[in-house]
């Protein structure tokens, strides 16, 4: 869903959003903000991978029994 929204936005919309973020957070806070977003995405992907692995393991265990 997020990818569909990003693909539907044009260059002008992206520039406007970036300018608003820059004005809201300032140039010094943006790297810190992006690090936080990166950590959040990484944790989400790790959790998603763990859930997927647990489901696959339980499916494989049920087929062996």
pLDDT reported for residue 7: 64
Q: Count of CB atoms within 10 A of residue 25's CB?
A: 14
Maximal C-alpha separation, the chain: 60
What predicted TM-score, i.e. pTM, was given to this entire model?
Answer: 0.56
pLDDT above 70 (res 3):
no
Can you say whether the dihedral through the CA atoms of 33, 35, 37, 39 is positive or negative? Answer: negative
- What confidence tens digit (pLDDT) does each residue in 13-63 have? 888 988 888 888 888 888 888 899 899 999 999 999 999 999 998 888 877
Average pLDDT over residues 1-21: 76
Q: Indicate whether 1 pLDDT > 60.
A: no
Please spell the DSSP secondary structure of 1-65, one letter per residue.
Answer: -HHHHHHH--HHHHHHHHHHHHHHH-TTTHHHHHHHHHHHHHHHHHHHHHHHHHHHHHHHHHHH-
Per-domain boundaries in the chain: 2-64
């Amino acid at each position: 869903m997020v990818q569909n929204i990003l693909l539907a936005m044009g260059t002008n919309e992206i520039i406007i959003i970036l300018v608003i973020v820059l004005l809201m957070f300032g140039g010094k806070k943006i790297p810190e903000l992006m690090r936080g977003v990166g950590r959040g995405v990484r944790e989400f992907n790790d959790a998603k991978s763990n859930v997927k692995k647990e489901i696959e393991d339980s499916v494989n265990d049920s087929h062996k029994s």
